Amino acid sequence: MIPKLDDTDFDALVEEARGLIPEYAPEWTDHNLHDPGITVIDLLAWLVDQQIYRIGHVGPSLRRAFSRLMGIEPRPARQAIFDVWSNQPGSTVLDLAAGQEAHSIDLPDAQFMVAEDVRLTGARIETITLVTEAGRKPLGDGLAHGRSTLSLPPTDGGGPLALEIKLDQVLLQGEPPVSLGVMVERPVSAENWRSNAPIPLAGDEDMFSPPADQPRWDSVIVEQRRAGDDGWIALPVTDRSFGLTRSGTIRFIPVETGSATVRLRLSESFRPGTVTLRRIGIDVVTLAEGWRDIEEVIGFGNDLPDQSYEFPTTNIAGGLERVVLESPELWSIVEDFTTSAPDDRHVTIDHSGGLLRLGNGVNGRVLETGEQLRHKPLIRTSGVNGNVAQGLRWTVSGRPIGENLAAGTGGRDADRLQDLIARARAAASTRIASMSEESLYELISKSGLGIARFEVLAGYRPGGRVKGARTVLIIPDRAADTPPGRPRAEVIESVENLLEPSRLMGERIFVSMPIYRNIDVSLVIAVKPDADVDALRAKLKGLLHARFWDLPVREDVAPWPPGRDISVGDLRALAGRFKDVLYLKSAIIRSGETQIADDADLFVLGPRELPLLRTLSIVLEQESTP
């Protein structure tokens, strides 16, 4: 709570000053109002009263400033957007333009628009084929109807090579783009990826803008088969799925080849984690809630000071930065007129009252008689009330285009002053005062960066031990049979950006990959005479491979921690987990020229080093028990 500092007034100040006169000026005996000294006291009391009021008055501008100090900026209104999936195969070709009105018979009074130029082809997906290094695997049309799924492992240029999509007709060449839609099951929301740009887009803006703690994943490459099956042609692409890491559209411009087959090439794409592809469709249209506010006059000048006009701003998609005012000269929106000169074309906005105010001719120019203040075209939105449920039916220009298979979300109201204060208080109360390993785990695991494992090294920085430093070793997710590789620089940078707001003052956090040490292990183990040697050997191999690997592959076996030395006793303990094992007869651990075989020896690892089991030899000798 902000304390009340304005706890005195003018009369109390005057009386307090009069009471001090006998103490400091005993010769001053006339304390009546006509006395010039009393007049000076009245003047000083008035000045002090104004200062106290100013100190105690925390107005909206100061509260916004305090919120900015907490890193809380006001968020503008934002539209809901969603994809509509075609259920009209075989229909005629129809080109849709961005901004064209869309309607739902389920929401007759709501206003929606086509978000981007798109061509509806009327095509149908006949079959999808997965192409890998092992060969071609027909998937049928199950993905096109949501009857089957396809798991895509994390990759950095490996994994499945392509998805070939055969349509029932050849696509027309040229613009507008054709749109494929993908639905991806992934536990990370794309909500924070939405930009504040009003839709339809203007210029080079994009409706998606990955935040600083998210890399810009590689785009899917779309290719069209050449005539006569003579190779493939790469097509211009706008990938809203960000390399199949989220649900969205993949828009491309076909060329004339005479072929009805396109493919999504995945081998060059980077996926930070395992995703499940649930559906692929063609003629998927992105819609946005909202309506156009065309260029119009806000008010007519009358040459008087302090003119004001009605101009609601809270429902402007993208906020005040999207407002362009002219008369025809451009006018600027300012916080107040304190620093405005007489000829400055400045206006202020009263968001709560929906009023636009001009200056008084001394601070800020007046709008002269005969002048018109106009705003350029805007897009307005219903904000949170524009979000829609899934399963609604949609039409454009009277033609059915399909239904939205997922809810339309992302619509948001502009922040009010009380919203800023609530967010600032929440940020202050939830800020991590001391980042524990548990809080680190929560931050990284929910980041969507595809980090399968991380380890925290306290008091260490790459190169040596340092007080006040911590190093976070990260291991990106990948297929279980894939050897480890170096994380991308943008992934490391994104983890650093993610952790930076929670870093303590004076603390340094470093993000790095482990240093891998390949080890070769040879074991000779005595086992019971009735032991199933083959089954036991398989179990031992599975246990040791899981223990000396960098990623968790079994729930009951944790990977070896970084920097922990390995001893023969560790191998003995692992082998002793099985009841058919009698004892460890001998063990050898090698890595390059380093080798240990005795209980007294240690295979020493540096702080960032992790062991990787390269080869494993297990000899099981059956012995009689006494």
Q: Is residue 467 assigned to a domain?
A: yes
Q: Report the distance separating Cα 573 and Cα 584, nearest Å.
A: 9
pLDDT of residue 430: 60
- Read off the pLDDT of each residue in 506-510 and give the average, rounded to a whole number: 80
Give yes or no: residues 367 and 270 share one domain: no
Report the distance separating Cα 598 and Cα 587, nearest Å: 8
Q: For residues 176 and 269, state if they share a domain.
A: yes
Give the model's pLDDT for residue 246.
Answer: 84
pLDDT of residue 187: 47
CATH of the domain at 166: 2.60.120.260
Q: In terms of pLDDT, which residue wins out, 339 or 351?
A: 339
Which structural domain range is residue 578 located in? Answer: 516-622
Identify which of 556, 576, 565 has the alpha carbon closest to the alpha carbon of residue 609. Answer: 565
Q: Which residues of 80-116 are buried (b: 16+ CB within 10 A; e: fewer)?
A: bbbbbbbeebeeeebebebbbebbbeebeebbbbbbb
Could you say which of 485, 512, 539 is where a domain stops?
512
Tokens of 113: 């628009």
Do 271 and 142 sit in the same domain of this protein?
yes
Q: What is the pLDDT of residues 132-174, one digit of tens each?
A: 888 899 999 899 998 999 988 776 655 667 899 999 999 999 9
Quick one: 332 and 445 in the same domain?
no
Residues 151 and 196 in one domain: yes
Please give the C-alpha separations between residue 330 and each of 264, 374, 598, in angstroms, as whole numbers. 47, 10, 83
- Residue 165: inside a domain, yes or no? yes
**Of 315, 348, 380, which residue is a domain's last?**
380
Q: Say which CATH number the domain at 483 has.
A: 3.30.300
Is position 247 within any domain? yes
Does 397 have pLDDT greater than 50?
A: yes
Q: Please tell me whether residues 551 and 596 are part of one structural domain.
A: yes
Q: Is residue 25 part of a domain?
A: yes
Per-residue confidence (pLDDT) for residue 453, from 0 to 100: 87
Domain-embedded: residue 459: yes
Q: Are residues 138 and 277 in the same domain?
A: yes
Question: Would you say residue 77 lies in a domain?
Answer: no
Last-in-domain residue among 36, 57, 78: 57
In a domain? residue 328: yes
| Mean pLDDT of the chain, nearest integer | 86
Q: What's the Cα-to-Cα distance from 190 to each of 204, 242, 287, 446, 495, rounded to whole Å?
A: 21, 11, 17, 12, 17
- Residue 528 pLDDT more than 50? yes
* Contact indicator for 12, 36 with CB cutoff of 8 Å: no
Q: Please tell me what DSSP assigns to residue 226.
A: P
Is residue 319 scored above 80 in pLDDT?
yes
Lowest mean pLDDT among 233-247, 368-382, 383-397, 489-503: 489-503
Q: 284 and 84 in contact (C-beta within 8 Å)?
A: yes
Q: What is the pTM of this model?
A: 0.74
pLDDT category at 418 given cuts 50, 70, 90 is: confident
The reply to whether 169 and 249 lie within a common domain is yes
352 and 447, same structural domain? Answer: no
How confident is the model over 13-39, as a mean pLDDT? 88
User: What residues contact residue 470 under an 8 Å CB cut-off, 6+ apart?
Assistant: 456, 457, 458, 459, 460, 507, 508, 509, 510
Is position 424 within any domain? no
Domains contained in the chain, number? 5
- My answer on whether 236 and 154 are in the same domain is yes
Q: Does 172 share its domain with 48?
A: no
Q: Same structural domain for residues 334 and 234? A: no
Q: Is the pLDDT higher at 41 or at 465?
A: 41
